[in-house]
Amino acid sequence: MNSEELARYHRQIIFPPVGEDGQQRLKAATAVVVGCGATGSALSNLLVRAGVGRVRIVDRDFIELNNLQRQILFDEEDIAANLPKAEAAARKLRRVNRDVTVEAVVADVNPGNVLDLLADATVVLDGTDNFSTRFLLNDACLHLGKAWIYTGVIASYGMTATFIPDGAVATLPGDRQATGCLRCLLGTMPAPGVTPTCDTAGVIGPAVALITAVAAAEAMKLIIGRGKLNPGVIHMDLWTHEYHSFGGAIRRPDCPACGLGRLEYLDATVGTASATLCGRNAVQVRVNGSGPLDLARLEAQLRPVASRLARNDYLLRAQIGDYEFTVFPDNRAIIKGTEDEDLAKSLYARYIGG
């Protein structure tokens, strides 16, 4: 490390479990943060400031006013600029630490791209807000042999768990042991309506700060190879002062994923997919298998029917009747004004094609 790096990380280096060799390991590491909302932006901020050498931020969404209450990397100017979350976060973090390579990927994580996105990761961090993506990350990390950290926050409480597949043990420094996986812990993906969401239960910023601090420290321990890892699921509630650590992800021989090798979420059929977005009165529609979408051409195509149009290098926004379309070059559209997935697919086909 050069003199500037030694000065920047001095307080961290003199913490004995880190030391200069630990700081070097952080510098050599790649962290992939999937999702850049409340948890993802906080995790990215902590990792970049800690000096993780490459941080890849993957997110499919754009910034809205109600994000600013808890999503620490965004401001009102980002909203006015129509910036995607990943790009806005990366711009902020590059100004924080010029020595870290911060990569923004504006994309929906799906079975067709997840392996490429995670392939070079030292550690993967969950910054998402939905279990379908988490179960996909679980399968992908099993397939690739990558350690990953689950993080979730709702209302005033948060949860985190660390998963180490067999294939990750040899790649991690220190004497780490393999754990079970997310499916060992939960079995199947919770049915819609079973778990609370940010729309139904709300979320406070301090809960995000607390649980992401725990998860970021776990990532540092994995990279450095020192320190006791979270052996189970940590649950913290700031409003009631309840703090629990319970039942680790004990490996189950009959687990469909790590026990029987059935990576059902990774092997999902790829086609036109849709998903209702939490608390947004919006549906994301994605069409796979075609080339990048030409936003300038689409803007011209929509001009006769749209009452409002705005475009930049990252997205096109169009108001058509009662629906607001936010369209990305990777053939995704977030259609606001409905939670009906069939209607959203129909609107996509009608105005965008595919």
pLDDT tens, position by position, 27-44 = 999 999 999 999 999 999
pLDDT at 349 over 90: no
Average pLDDT over the chain, rounded to whole? Answer: 92
Residue with tokens 């939490």: 278
Burial of 121 (0-12, 13-18, 19+ CB in 10 A): buried
Same domain, yes or no: 66 and 107: yes
Range of the domain at 229: 3-246
**Could you read off the pLDDT of 114-138 as tens digits, one per residue?**
999 999 999 999 999 888 899 999 9
Which residues share a beta bridge with 319? 308, 324
- Please name the amino acid found at residue 232: G
Same domain, yes or no: 88 and 8: yes
Mean pLDDT for 153-171 is 96
At residue 331, the pLDDT reads: 85
At residue 277, the pLDDT reads: 74
Same domain, yes or no: 213 and 314: no
Same domain, yes or no: 291 and 150: no
Same domain, yes or no: 58 and 108: yes
pLDDT at 172 over 90: yes
Whether residue 41 is contained in a domain is answered as: yes
What is the pLDDT confidence band of residue 270, given thresholds at 50, 70 and 90? very low
**Could you read off the pLDDT of 71-111 as tens digits, one per residue?**
999 999 999 999 999 999 999 999 999 999 999 999 989 89
Q: What angle do CA 49, 35, 221 make, to 5 degrees?
A: 45
Measured in degrees and rounded to the nearest 5, phi and psi for residue 300 equal -65, -35
Which residues share a beta bridge with 244? 235
Whether residue 257 is contained in a domain is answered as: no
Share of the chain above pLDDT 90, in %: 75
The H or E element that residue 341 is part of is helix 341-351
At residue 108, the pLDDT reads: 86
- 3-state secondary structure at position 160: strand
Q: Which tops the pLDDT comparison, 197 or 86?
A: 86
Same domain, yes or no: 86 and 182: yes
Same domain, yes or no: 90 and 229: yes
pTM above threshold 0.75: yes
Whether residue 252 is contained in a domain is answered as: no
Look up residue 82 and give its two tokens: 């129509």
Q: Which of 177, 211, 246 is the last residue of a domain?
A: 246
CATH assignment at residue 158 = 3.40.50.720
Active site residues: 198
Same domain, yes or no: 241 and 287: no
Measured in degrees and rounded to the nearest 5, phi and psi for residue 148 equal -145, 160
State how many domains the chain has: 2
Alpha helices, DSSP H, located in 14-130: 19-28, 38-50, 76-80, 85-96, 114-118
At residue 104, the pLDDT reads: 98
Whether residue 260 is contained in a domain is answered as: no
At residue 195, the pLDDT reads: 72
Measured in degrees and rounded to the nearest 5, phi and psi for residue 98 equal -70, -15
